[in-house]
Amino acid sequence: MSALEQLYEVGVKLIDETLPRYDKVVRAWELLASDEEIEAYLEMSNVFTVKRLHYNDHGPVHSRIVAGSAMAIYKILLEGGFQPSVVKHGVGDLEDSLVVTLIGAYLHDIGNSVHRTHHPIYSALLTDRLAFKILERIYGATKKAYMLKQEAMHIVFCHDEAYTCLTFEGAVAKIADGTDMAEGRARMPYEIGKNDIHALSALAIRRVYVGKGADRPLAIYVYMDSETGIFQVDEVLGKKIATSGLAPYVEVKTFVQGKPWIVRTFETTHVIR
């Protein structure tokens, strides 16, 4: 088996490969993917970001990609010996942790349906009700459902690089958000059709994979057509890693036209305990 065959390619089909087959997790995904209100808000996120601001995608496809990447990263780190915060601090078990990670990853950008400015705040406020709607169908109107809802809100609020994650689940979703970069999908909003460094850098990135690292537990492999892609790696993915709380455990390996180029690691002042 080649090295690439051991990796997960970040893309719209990844969730089908990585969704854990726990009953509650599968049910949460079914509810998220079929809820018309959630779908409407995600589509409105693209009305604002793509149609009105002429930025790149922040809607349903992005949400699906990030959910799949989050499940892959979660699996890699769990197998590497990491303990989810939901479990460590007695909020719930492993399945509960996976449920809130999935919900948070899928809903993280939903606040763009209100406004791009301060969208992490709007996203968290919308998640307050939307996450509980999902969780109530699985857990009932129980204390655990309310507690898990707060975990999902934290994930959503902290996905932006301006905020530091305090949970493993939040870190996983945040890093996953930054991995949606291939084929011009980079997470720094850039104006479509504009030939500045933001757009040129985003368009240079061809494929992104996540897997176990040789030197650190998580490695992200970024394949680029040209060196301009490093701007997105540093300014978007790097800033998310640096504020995730898991920066010491992540490395980003870049390739230009298939050849190994630079390995990036990112400093942080905060590590999740």
> Among 77-81, 143-147, 197-201, 218-222, which stretch is predicted with the lowest mean pLDDT?
197-201
3-state helix, strand, coil in the chain (%, to 5): 60, 10, 30
Stated as kind and residue range, the H or E segment containing 177 is helix 168-179
List the Cα angle 265/269/270 in 5-degree steps: 100
The whole-angstrom distance between residue 34's C-alpha and the CA centroid of its chain comes to 20
Read off the pLDDT of each residue in 243-253 and give the average, rounded to a whole number. Answer: 98
Query: What pLDDT score was predicted for residue 191?
Result: 65
Bridge partners of 9?
A: 209
The strand pair at 8-9 and 205-212 is best described as antiparallel
> Among 130-134, 174-178, 196-200, which stretch is predicted with the lowest mean pLDDT?
196-200
User: Who wins on pLDDT, 56 or 193?
Assistant: 56
- Contact of 205 with 229, CB cutoff 8 Å: yes
List the Cα angle 133/49/41 in 5-degree steps: 20
Query: Which residues 6+ apart lie within 8 Å of 222 measured at CB?
Result: 181, 205, 207, 208, 229, 233, 237, 252, 253, 254, 255
Bridge partners of 254?
A: 222
Query: What pLDDT score was predicted for residue 200?
Result: 83
Task: Report which of 189, 155, 174, 147 is spatially closest to residue 238, judged by C-alpha positions.
Answer: 174
CB atoms within 10 A of CB 123: 27
Read off the pLDDT of each residue in 146-170 and give the average, rounded to a whole number. Answer: 97
Task: Report which of 203, 186, 185 is spatially closest to residue 194, judged by C-alpha positions.
Answer: 203
* Length of the chain in terms of residues written: 273
Query: What pLDDT score was predicted for residue 183?
Result: 83
Residue 1 exposed, middle or buried by CB count within 10 Å (0-12, 13-18, 19+): exposed
pLDDT digits (tens, 9 = 90+) for 20-77: 999 999 999 999 999 999 999 999 999 999 889 888 888 999 999 999 999 999 999 9
Residues 247, 240: Cα–Cα separation, whole Å: 9
Q: Tell whether the model's pLDDT for residue 100 goes beyond 60.
A: yes
CB atoms within 10 A of CB 267: 9
Residues 77, 210: Cα–Cα separation, whole Å: 11
Query: What pLDDT score was predicted for residue 43?
Result: 97
Domains located in the chain, CATH noted = 12-164 (1.10.3210), 177-264 (no CATH)
Query: What pLDDT score was predicted for residue 57?
Result: 80
